[in-house]
Amino acid sequence: MEFTREISTAASPEQVWALLWDVERLARCIPGCQSARAVTPHVRYEATVAERVGPFRVTFPLDIEVLEAQAPTRLRAKATGRDASVGSSLQMQLDLAIEPADGRTVLRLRADVSVLGKLAALGGGMIRRKAEEVMDRFAQALRRELDGDRADAPTV
Amino acid sequence: MTEDRETTLEVVGRPTARVDGTDKVTGRARFVSDVAVPGMLETRILRSPLPHARIRGIDVSRARAVPGVAAVLTGADLDGLDPYYGVAYKDQPLLAIGRVRYEGEPVAAVAASDAVAAEAALERIEVDYDPLPAVTTLDEALAPGAPLVHERLRPAGHFRDLRALRPVEGTNICHHVRRTRGDGARGLQRAEVVVEDVFTFPAVQHVSLESFVSIARWDGDRLTVWSGTQHPFPVRKELSEIFGVPAHRIRVIAPLIGGAFGQKCYAKYEPLAAALARAAGAPVRVWVSVTDAFRTLTRHPARIHMRTGATRDGRLVARVVRAWLDTGAYADVGPRVAGKVAYLSIGPYRWEHLDVEAFAVYTHRVPAGAFRGYGAPQAEWAGESQLNRLAAELGIDPTELRLRNLLGQGEPYDPTDRPIDGDLPALLRAAARGVGWETPPRPGRGRGVAVGVKDGGGAHSVSASLVRLHADGTATVHVGSVEMGQGPRTVMAQITAETLGLPLEGISVQEPDTDLVPYDQGSSASRSTALAGTAVHRAALDVRRQLLEIARRFFEAPPDVVTLAGGAARAGGRIATYAELIAYHFGTPGGELIGRGEFHSGERDPGAPGPTAFWELGAAAAEVEVDAETGAVRVCAYASATDAGRAINPQLCEAQDQGAAVQGLGHTLFEEVRIEGGQVQNAGLIDYRVPLADDLPPTFTAALHQDGGGPGPFGAKGVGEIGIVMPAPAVAGAVAAATGARVRDLPLTPERVWRALRAADGA
Amino acid sequence: MLRPFEIHQPESVEAASALVGRYGDDAAFYAGGTELLLVMKEGLVRYRHLVDLKTIPALGALDYDAASGLLRIGGTVTHRALERHPTVRERFPIVAEVERLVANVRVRNVGTIGGNLCFAEPHADPGTLFLTFDAEVELVGTRGARTVPIGAFFTGAYETARQPDEVLTAVRLREGGPQTRWAYMKFGIHERPTLGVAVALTLDAERRGIEDVRIAVGCVGPVPARVPAAEALLRGAPLAEADGPLERAAQVAAEGADAVDDLHGSAEYKVEMVKVFMRRAFRAAAARFQ
């Protein structure tokens, strides 16, 4: 499943870039993120995210690996995790591009997400719907983190 | 049997209830799921979540610590045995070794005192995967530079026809077959009309009522396996090679099986069960869930590019075919299925020019293998659909177009093979009549036809049988045919009863057990009645010969005046029961007469073309109604006609044919294992839709043609498969006739038909 | 595989609610299990405690009050009971008709209306139908009782307004008057439908004009939903000239359908089928006046 979001912010590209490396602030933006820490800063991170759909609960301990970092324009990372009790895994490739545009900054998010295992039995459509929601919440939270309550620009 | 005897058959060809019927409907029948061995452990299998990955490491320490766990196995624990199996290539490991090649591949297995402990242990196994690029579609697998599913291939050499494996070096093609006659390309140039299509066939699942069950027990260096297998002897051979144990110390028993349809051909979970039992030091049962059966084997999904050329007046001239079969991560019987597709995509017609090539292609998907019809459903979905289209383009009735081109009885299908041994035009006419072809359908409805052909019996096959006539005049039949619902226990008893003049109740058929029955190739390719049945028939004839000889001595009468019937011999008004004859022969009321019979394909006359044992021939016609707004297809009438040669048991033959037709309606209308990104999306019976009783067409008939032309006992043929071939092309042809929309991809779901209708409207 | 669990069989709704309150995420209500046991077997959910509601007699009641025309269906009334109940068949024939089409007879024999609504599997029939009754759902939990309109009950796929400790004690439907007819159409080839459309059509006393119409669409998206914009287009229209408004209403309903791609079909197809089946369901309801 591929997802894209675009966030327009008044913050500068450098400020956006800084947020991406601020574990504590970024963790606040990730929906369901229960904990996050740098294993090796700028190289490897660990985080635990939990999500719930009705009676279904999953908790993924994620191993996050930075694949490419070009300050302050591009960040690529991949995250993998497995919820053994639900017998499902999550794999995500994340591609972030930061560009100045008309005095503002645009953050382009591209995520390629695979949910593997028994969760797939719930049906791809429903998983996708939930993932879209999570992406929306993430984008909104990022915008709020960057712009505070001035976050009025729409997410596309 | 002589001709005159056939006119007075007592048991064969008569309505006969199946011998295991009462046990089955009362729940007394012992299926493999009912087998319980004392001390048997339960097992669970951990499966790969990824379609392709390197296994960096597996940590099983926490799993081993779970109370009740007796063994945890991974691919690293298979020392001392040859861990690869497979019929064509030895490419499939018992458990993934260093690499996983499809989502659902067994990676680790646990044996524990109960299923709960086994499941708890499974959750505690940590596998460190390094995901690798996967090829999960034919296009991806065939792309230049595609990752190779297997870098090295090791032919298995099990069977003669698979010794000629032809992989294409450096690609994912593990086998290809090309057959030509005349010049295909030139033939198309010369044809007045050429139609060209690409047809696809989905991955479908067998959906046996009973899933895979294998129980293994080691007694010292002896191994006993109870398994729901169609192939007890080939499984024994595979186990022998894997574990390095000679055949005489391995015993494979196949109790009643709740459906198989090709899914349970050759080794599946038996080697893993044996490995687990050895590691655990206790008997184990591997019991695979319905969900995981979807991760074990499917029918080959296929893409078939086909061009057919004809003259304006409907004479077929040339056909050129390129077919790609997705065999998944492990070849299983894929190369043989590809060969079948190449052979059968031409259909039973007269051609001047042919150029047919089929490829078996590895992908990172669940393996594909044997499934009722074995390539014929894919090949003839394309071939017969294209004839339906050609008929429409030529403005010729599709039945008429076929009648102008069908091979007659005795005409060669291929110059090197057995000629067509049945009356195809008669079958086609009967099927068409069955839906009222001679009168136009009601408005909004359409009709379609299809002819089916399959080389039955399997090439190079062997069966042997023993029939024992006991001292009390009852008999036991020893034969390896597996009862998986198709009825060999009944049919073998009938053949024996007929031959020996015994009542059916006086005959038992031994459960297939490699220690107790003589060699049998296996119960596949519609071969049991015709070929294993020949071995049984000959064994019974052997007993009959002995009886006649004893009777001649007993009566002091010439052999030609002795008759055998009702469990007794008669000559000139005198009578002696078989018990009396046996007692007379042995000089004591003990002993038994043992008859021996054999069938093997090598016995055929050197002059007779091979290798087909008999042709499964059929035809079907369908009438449908299509909801133009939704695309929903309703099959209003379906009529099939099948050549049974001689129906030993007409009810079972009809049930086989109708069962096959219903299963075929499944892949025609509903069934498809959906795999996206290598992940099975609908493993289970809620989201994988099989035909239900409500789906039976209101008019649904099966006509058996019997002219005694089969090679089996009393002229019998196998009839197990052909019925599954015709539904798709017949129904799709009917949809096109009703709506003008031609669908080239199965199944004909409402959405797919709706899209085709919109495309037809737009065109 | 079904992992071991403890089954509790309390005698009252309050006791049941208290049990789930006490065990929290470790417990779930059991009201037939036709959905619950499937996901438990798959290991998608795990509960050490199941609290059986079927043994609470009050939840199995089915009461009809002729004076108010109110049908109160207890939470553990099975699909099969609804399908066969004489009063339901006589006074709420559409309910019996829809229930007869739910899944298969094995599911209908044990599956309950409360279980069906609370599991909120998106491809279900009763919720869609009940929307056109403006049904009310009674919930009782450790913090008391409340009533939720069915339109506010479904909040997402598998998600409802019910709190974990709340028991769906009943769903209340009000009988339609002599000028109201229902129709429900479902479509699909799988065990679970691709789409369900319910229409409740009320005509004026002369049966010429559309006094009211309630339309609900289910299965295509995460939750079943009414389509008020489509209803508004039809309300007040003369029945004899309903084709134009119906066409527009179907279009509006299709545009508003929150369809998702899944095994049951693409969103594009589902949207088109909403149009088709809204037209058909409306016409079927209208035909029932004849």
At B202-241, the pLDDT tens digits run 999 999 999 999 999 999 999 999 999 999 999 999 999 9
Task: Give the pLDDT score at A156.
Answer: 47
CB contact under 8 A, B689 and C191: yes
Task: Give the pLDDT score at A119.
Answer: 78
Task: Give the pLDDT score at B603.
Answer: 72
Asked if residue B236 belongs to a domain, the reply is yes
Asked if residue B454 belongs to a domain, the reply is yes
- Interface partners of chain A (CB pairs < 8 Å, 3 or more) are B, C
Q: Determine contact: B131 vs chain A, CB below 8 A.
A: yes
- On chain C, the residues whose CB falls within 8 A of the CB of A119 are 44
Number of helices and strands (H, E) in chain B?
A: 19, 30
Q: Which of B679, B688, B751 is the mutation pick for testing A, counting most A CBs within 10 A?
A: B679
**Beta carbon pairs, A and B, within 8 Å:** 28
In this model, does residue B442 exceed pLDDT 80?
yes
> Mean per-residue pLDDT for C80-89?
98
Distance CA A151, CA A9 (A): 8
Verify that B396 and B466 share a domain, yes or no.
no
CB contact under 8 A, B687 and A123: yes
Is-contact C52 C9, C-beta < 8 A?
yes
Interface of A with C in 89-148 (CB under 8 A): 118-119, 121-126, 128-130
CA C111 to chain centre: 13
Task: Give the pLDDT score at B559.
Answer: 80
Q: Name the residue facing B679 among A82, A85, A116 (closest C-beta).
A: A116
B690-706 pLDDT, tens digit per residue, is 999 999 999 999 999 99
DSSP string for B331-392: -TTHHHHHHHHHHHTT-SB--SEEEEEEEEEE-SSS-B---TTTTHHHHHHHHHHHHHHHHH
Is-contact C227 C256, C-beta < 8 A?
yes
Q: Chain B: residue nearest C268 by CA?
A: B751
In this model, does residue B606 exceed pLDDT 90?
no
B468-524 pLDDT, tens digit per residue, is 999 999 999 999 999 999 999 999 999 999 999 999 999 999 999 999 999 999 999
Please report, for the domain that includes residue A18, its CATH number.
Answer: 3.30.530.20
Q: Name the residue facing C159 among A53, A85, A121 (closest C-beta).
A: A53
In this model, does residue B355 exceed pLDDT 90?
yes
Verify that B241 and B260 share a domain, yes or no.
yes
Strand-pair category, B675-676 with B679-680: antiparallel
Q: Determine contact: C97 vs chain A, CB below 8 A.
A: no
> What 3-state DSSP class applies to B289?
coil
Residue type, B326: D
- How many CB atoms are located within 10 Å of the residue B440 CB? 9
Task: Give the pLDDT score at A124.
Answer: 66
Is residue B717 very low, low, confident or very high in pLDDT (cuts 50, 70, 90)? very high
C202-226 pLDDT, tens digit per residue, is 999 999 999 999 999 999 999 999 9
Find the radius of gyration of the CA atoms of chain B: 27
Min CA distance, A138 vs chain B (Å)? 25
- On chain C, the residues whose CB falls within 8 A of the CB of B291 are 42
Q: Rounded mean pLDDT of chain C?
A: 96
Residues 6+ apart with CB under 8 A from B598: B462, B463, B464, B465, B535, B538
Q: Name the residue facing A125 among C119, C160, C262 (closest C-beta).
A: C262
- ipTM over 0.85 threshold: yes
- Quote the domain boundaries for residue A141: 2-152
Distance CA B45, CA B121 (A): 10
In this model, does residue C121 exceed pLDDT 80?
yes
H-helix segments, B47-175: 61-64, 115-123, 138-142
Verify that B639 and B757 share a domain, yes or no.
yes
CB contact under 8 A, B123 and A87: yes
Please report, for the domain that includes residue B685, its CATH number.
Answer: 3.30.365.10
Query: CA dihedral in degrees (B528, B530, B535, B537; nearest 10)?
Result: 120
Task: Give the pLDDT score at B763.
Answer: 60
Q: Name the residue facing C269 among B119, B686, B751 (closest C-beta).
A: B751
CB contact under 8 A, A53 and C157: yes
In this model, does residue B47 exceed pLDDT 50?
yes
Total domains in the fold of chain B = 3
Q: Name the residue facing A56 among C44, C222, C262 (closest C-beta).
A: C44
CB contact under 8 A, B684 and A91: no
Please report, for the domain that includes residue B110, its CATH number.
Answer: 3.90.1170.50
- On chain A, the residues whose CB falls within 8 A of the CB of C28 are 55
Verify that B506 and B644 share a domain, yes or no.
no
- On chain B, the residues whose CB falls within 8 A of the CB of C46 are none
Q: Chain A: residue nearest B686 by CA?
A: A121
Q: Determine contact: C37 vs chain A, CB below 8 A.
A: no
Distance CA C177, CA C158 (A): 33
> What 3-state DSSP class applies to B404?
helix
CB contact under 8 A, B49 and A116: yes
Q: Determine contact: A53 vs chain C, CB below 8 A.
A: yes
- On chain C, the residues whose CB falls within 8 A of the CB of A121 are 42, 44
| Structural domains of chain C, with CATH | 6-51 (3.30.43.10), 60-174 (3.30.465.10), 180-287 (3.30.390.50)
Running DSSP on this structure, what letter comes out for residue B516?
T
Distance CA B218, CA B282 (A): 7
C2-30 pLDDT, tens digit per residue, is 899 999 999 999 999 999 999 999 999 99
Task: Give the pLDDT score at B307.
Answer: 98
Asked if residue B282 belongs to a domain, the reply is yes
> What 3-state DSSP class applies to B522?
coil
> What 3-state DSSP class applies to C92?
coil
Verify that B743 and B630 share a domain, yes or no.
yes
Six token digits for residue B128:
């460190």
Task: Give the pLDDT score at B15.
Answer: 81
- On chain B, the residues whose CB falls within 8 A of the CB of C43 are 119
> Mean per-residue pLDDT for C166-174?
98
Distance CA B567, CA B506 (A): 9
> Mean per-residue pLDDT for B626-649?
98
In this model, does residue B609 exceed pLDDT 70?
no
> Does the N-terminal peptide bond of residue B611 adopt cis geometry, omega within 30 degrees of 0?
yes
Q: Determine contact: B563 vs chain C, CB below 8 A.
A: no
Min CA distance, C38 vs chain A (Å)? 11
B77-112 pLDDT, tens digit per residue, is 998 999 999 999 999 999 999 999 999 999 999 999
Q: Which domain-ending residue is among B600, B621, B640?
A: B600
Verify that B451 and B529 share a domain, yes or no.
no
Verify that B244 and B118 share a domain, yes or no.
yes
Q: Determine contact: C106 vs chain B, CB below 8 A.
A: no
Task: Give the pLDDT score at B604.
Answer: 65
Q: Which domain-ending residue is among B600, B630, B665?
A: B600
Interface of C with B in 255-284 (CB under 8 A): 263, 265-266, 269, 272-273, 276
Task: Give the pLDDT score at B167.
Answer: 94
Total domains in the fold of chain A = 1
- Quote the domain boundaries for residue B487: 21-30+461-600
In this model, does residue B3 exceed pLDDT 90?
no
In this model, does residue B410 exceed pLDDT 90?
yes
B741-757 pLDDT, tens digit per residue, is 999 999 999 999 999 99
H-helix segments, B316-356: 334-344
Residues 6+ apart with CB under 8 A from B460: B159, B160, B161, B601, B602, B611
Distances from the Cα of B317 to the Cαs of A46, B188, B343, B348, C153, in angstroms? 67, 7, 17, 13, 66
Identify the weakest region by mean pLDDT among A136-140, B116-120, B157-161, B354-358: B157-161
> Mean per-residue pLDDT for B724-734?
98
Characterise B36 by phi-psi region: left (phi > 0), alpha (psi -120 to 50), beta (else). beta
Q: Chain B: residue nearest C35 by CA?
A: B686
Q: Chain C: residue nearest A117 by CA?
A: C44
Is-contact B641 B424, C-beta < 8 A?
no
Strand-pair category, B222-227 with B250-253: parallel
Q: Chain A: residue nearest B684 by CA?
A: A121
Q: Determine contact: B749 vs chain C, CB below 8 A.
A: yes
Q: Which domain-ending residue is among B293, B316, B349?
A: B293
Six token digits for residue B750:
């409402």
- On chain B, the residues whose CB falls within 8 A of the CB of C123 are none
CB contact under 8 A, C28 and A55: yes
Q: Determine contact: A54 vs chain C, CB below 8 A.
A: yes
Min CA distance, A123 vs chain C (Å)? 6
Task: Give the pLDDT score at B714.
Answer: 97
CB contact under 8 A, B686 and C191: yes
Q: Determine contact: B49 vs chain A, CB below 8 A.
A: yes
Task: Give the pLDDT score at A115.
Answer: 85
Q: Determine contact: B62 vs chain A, CB below 8 A.
A: no
CB contact under 8 A, B49 and A89: yes
CB contact under 8 A, C263 and B630: no
Buried/exposed code over B278-298 (b: 16+ C-beta within 10 A; e: otherwise): bbbebbbbbbbbbbbbbbbbb
B18-34 pLDDT, tens digit per residue, is 999 999 999 999 999 99
Task: Give the pLDDT score at B5.
Answer: 47
Residues 6+ apart with CB under 8 A from A133: none
> Mean per-residue pLDDT for C183-188?
97
- Interface partners of chain C (CB pairs < 8 Å, 3 or more) are A, B
CB contact under 8 A, C43 and A125: no
Verify that B547 and B476 share a domain, yes or no.
yes
Task: Give the pLDDT score at B367.
Answer: 98
CB contact under 8 A, B670 and C189: yes
Verify that B51 and B96 share a domain, yes or no.
yes
- On chain C, the residues whose CB falls within 8 A of the CB of B289 are 1
Verify that B210 and B98 share a domain, yes or no.
yes
CB contact under 8 A, A54 and C120: yes
- How many CB atoms are located within 10 Å of the residue B383 CB? 29
Q: Chain A: residue nearest C267 by CA?
A: A125
Task: Give the pLDDT score at B748.
Answer: 98
DSSP string for A26-80: HHHHSTTEEEEEEEETTTEEEEEEEEEETTEEEEEEEEEEEEEEETTTEEEEEEE
Q: Rounded mean pLDDT of chain B?
A: 95
Q: Determine contact: C116 vs chain A, CB below 8 A.
A: no
> Mean per-residue pLDDT for B432-439?
97
Asked if residue B139 belongs to a domain, the reply is no
Verify that B570 and B533 share a domain, yes or no.
yes
Verify that B521 and B546 share a domain, yes or no.
yes
Asked if residue B522 belongs to a domain, the reply is yes
Is-contact B295 B47, C-beta < 8 A?
yes
Min CA distance, A15 vs chain C (Å)? 36
More confident residue, B641 or B589: B641
Its pTM stands at 0.95
Q: Chain A: residue nearest B683 by CA?
A: A121
> What 3-state DSSP class applies to B39?
coil
Q: Chain A: residue nearest C44 by CA?
A: A86
Mark the ranges of chain A whose per-residue pLDDT is less than 70.
Answer: 121, 123-124, 149-156
Is-contact A73 A97, C-beta < 8 A?
yes
> What 3-state DSSP class applies to A143?
helix
Q: Name the residue facing A116 among B50, B123, B124 (closest C-beta).
A: B50
Strand-pair category, B92-93 with B213-219: unpaired
**Element at B617 (helix H, strand E):** strand B614-626
